[in-house]
Structure 1
Amino acid sequence: MKKLPILLTAALTTSVNAMNVDTMLLVGDEYGNGVFTLTNSNKITEFIQSNITQLIVEDGEITRVPYSENNFEDWHVTLTHNKTILEPHRQKQIGVRSLCGNKCDFTEDQYYLVSFEPSPYDPEGKLDSAVTINFGYRPLFVIPAQAQDIDYSISLDQGQLHINNTGNSFVRAYVDQCTDEVTEDCEVTIMSLAGRERNYPLPENIDLSDLKVTVVNHDESYRQDVTLSESK
């Protein structure tokens, strides 16, 4: 069975892709652990600083909690490398590790933004500042609910896709109307976090009449095809 594309966009990326991360959506294993792979395609060595921001969904709203030394006792996950040096044309793995041990509560999804912010490694100050502009990535790390309760409603609302996710885990909704003649603005993957309800705009080349949508959970063990139309 064909896997659906993630199609999550990097928070900030460069046109030359000096540093790349292998995925913008990483789902943790049964122990709440995962690994990102960073690649330096640049000709200079990069110094990469990493940080975690926990996303808490409560009453349909998202609260962002940046991890810092001030709230260390409340951390649920940590990174194997908060700071690292990545040489040109090399790769390095950055692990995400759960800290809760046997006290983990996996009854619902846990969400974390992991930022990777590169800058030229220039201890001697020899690089020209004009070529040191760089940007980073902020992929999403998810520890999925162990017992998946997939519960949501999906509809069309004034030309937008409306999803109300009342389950305990995220779902992805995928629309693909691309053809040999239409190759741009014709497909989209939308991620709806558990506990969230909102409208999502659709690409301009999506035909809303009898809209076919495929909905899956994190590992596609749940998969449902639905056909939507605008309510009159």
Structure 2
Amino acid sequence: MKKLPILLTAALTTSVNAMNVDTMLLIGDEYGNGVFTLTNSNKITEFIQSNITQLVVEDGEITRVPYAEDNFEDWRVTLTHNKTILEPHRQKQIGVRSLCGNKCDFTEDQYYLVSFEPSPYDPEGKLNSAVTINFGYRPLFVIPAQAQDIDYSMSWDNGELHINNTGNSFVRAHIDQCTDEVTEDCEVTLMSLAGRERSYPLPKNIDPSNIKVTVVNHDESYRQDVTLSESK
């Protein structure tokens, strides 16, 4: 069975970067833990700061809750390293660890943005910061609902794919109309969080007359093909 590509969530920038993260979508294990792997392909040592922002979906809207000292008692996850030094051409693992065990509500997904923001490690101030450009990443960490209730509706209208996710876990919708002749702007993977209703514009080379959408959950234990035609 063909695996769907992982959706890339928004990074702090889309430019090529000397520091890289192995995935932009990380799914926690049964205990709510996960590991990101950072790689420094730069010629200089990087100092990397990390932080967490929890995403809370209520009434279809997303509220962002940055983790800070003043709300420490409400933290549900933490990082093994909030600050780290990464030498050239080396890798380092940053773990995400659940803090609440069975105390958290795992009846629905939990969503967290994990930011990795690099800067040159320059304790002696020898680097010229004016010409140093650094880019970061903000991948999504998900602790999936323990009992998956996949429930959604989908329609194609006015040039956009509309997804209403009424289940308790996120789904990914994948469309691939690429051919030997058409290789660009013909494929897309969209992520719909639990409790969210959104419309997504599609790439220009997607033919709206007959759209086949493959929908999967986090581990692809749920997989469904949906054929859509534009609403009249």
Q: After superposition, what is the alpha-carbon deviation per residue over 1:68-104, rounded to whole angstroms, capped at 9, x for unaligned?
A: 0000000000000000000000000000000002212
Q: Is the 8 A contact 2:172 2:217 kept in 1?
A: yes
Q: Matches of 2:114 and 2:144 in 1, distance apart? A: 16
Q: Is the 8 A contact 2:162 2:197 kept in 1?
A: yes
Q: 1:11: which partner in 2?
A: 11
Q: 2:129: which partner in 1?
A: 129
SS in 2 for 1:70: helix
Cα distance, 1:193 vs structure 2: 0.1
Cα distance, 1:50 vs structure 2: 0.2
Identity of aligned residues (%): 92
Cα distance, 1:16 vs structure 2: 3.9
Q: Matches of 1:65 and 1:16 in 2, distance apart? A: 28
Gap regions ≥5 residues in structure 1? none
Cα distance, 1:12 vs structure 2: 2.5
Change (3 A) 1:14 1:88: farther
Q: Matches of 2:155 and 2:14 in 1, distance apart? A: 35
Gap regions ≥5 residues in structure 2? none
- Two-structure CA RMSD over aligned residues (Å): 1.0
Q: Is the 8 A contact 1:157 1:199 kept in 2?
A: no
Q: Is the 8 A contact 1:186 1:204 kept in 2?
A: yes
SS in 2 for 1:52: strand
SS in 1 for 2:73: helix
Q: After superposition, what is the alpha-carbon deviation per residue over 1:86-127, rounded to whole angstroms, capped at 9, x for unaligned?
A: 000000000000000221221000000000000000001111
Q: Is the 8 A contact 1:39 1:90 kept in 2?
A: yes
SS in 1 for 2:130: helix
SS in 1 for 2:55: strand
May I ask how many residue pairs the two structures share in their alignment? 232
SS in 2 for 1:106: coil
- If the length of structure 2 is used for normalisation, what is the TM-score? 0.98
Runs (4 or more) in structure 1 with deviation over 6 Å come to: none
Q: After superposition, what is the alpha-carbon deviation per residue over 1:159-211, rounded to whole angstroms, capped at 9, x for unaligned?
A: 10000000000000000011111111110000000000010110011101110
Q: After superposition, what is the alpha-carbon deviation per residue over 1:138-177, rounded to whole angstroms, capped at 9, x for unaligned?
A: 0000000000000000110211000000000000000001
Q: Is the 8 A contact 1:151 1:166 kept in 2?
A: yes
SS in 1 for 2:148: coil
Cα distance, 1:9 vs structure 2: 4.4
Change (3 A) 1:98 1:9: closer
Q: Is the 8 A contact 1:162 1:199 kept in 2?
A: yes
Q: Which has the higher mean CA deviation after the structures are superposed, 38-47 or 127-136?
A: 127-136
- If the length of structure 1 is used for normalisation, what is the TM-score? 0.98
Q: Is the 8 A contact 2:75 2:99 kept in 1?
A: yes
Cα distance, 1:14 vs structure 2: 6.1
Q: Matches of 1:228 and 1:14 in 2, distance apart? A: 31
Q: Matches of 2:100 and 2:28 in 1, distance apart? A: 14
Change (3 A) 1:14 1:197: closer
